[in-house]
Amino acid sequence: MSATYMARARDCEHGHVIENAEEFVRLRTSDDPDEYFRAAHEEATVLTWLQVIERYPEMRFWVANNKTVPLEVLEVLRQDADERVRSMVRCKGSWKRAHPEDFKRAGDPE
């Protein structure tokens, strides 16, 4: 891993959180690689994630893509109308551990 990646990962571990839906959208759509990284790696509250899903439906895939998104939010996104969102949920390790039956039913490899 690159030194930049490791430094970014350490920053995420030190209490930085996405404060609201608007901040997530700003980070995700930014041209700044550091902000884009934050959108993919920083935590947010369940309420914040649900607000992103409700207010910015075009960001659902990116919510599911976040490395820290809680299982409670993935439960909501697993029912999404967009197959890309549902597929991203099924790719998450936390989802696979919590719902191994999803893979047997869907025919996806574990």
Tell me the one-letter amino acid at 27.
L
How far is 72 from 64, CA to CA, in rounded Å? 11
DSSP H or E segment with residue 43: strand 43-44
How far is 44 from 28, CA to CA, in rounded Å? 13
Task: Put residue 45 in one of left, alpha, beta given phi > 0 → left and psi -120 to 50 → alpha.
Answer: beta
Proportion of the chain above pLDDT 70, given as a percent: 80
What total number of domains does the chain contain? Answer: 1
Higher pLDDT pick, 56 / 6: 56
Q: What's the domain range around 35? A: 3-106
Q: How confident is the model at residue 15 (pLDDT cuts 50, 70, 90)?
A: low
- Residues 19, 21, 22, 25: is their CA dihedral positive or negative? positive
pLDDT in the model for residue 16: 83
Average pLDDT over the chain reads: 86
Inform me whether the pLDDT recorded for 108 exceeds 60.
Answer: no
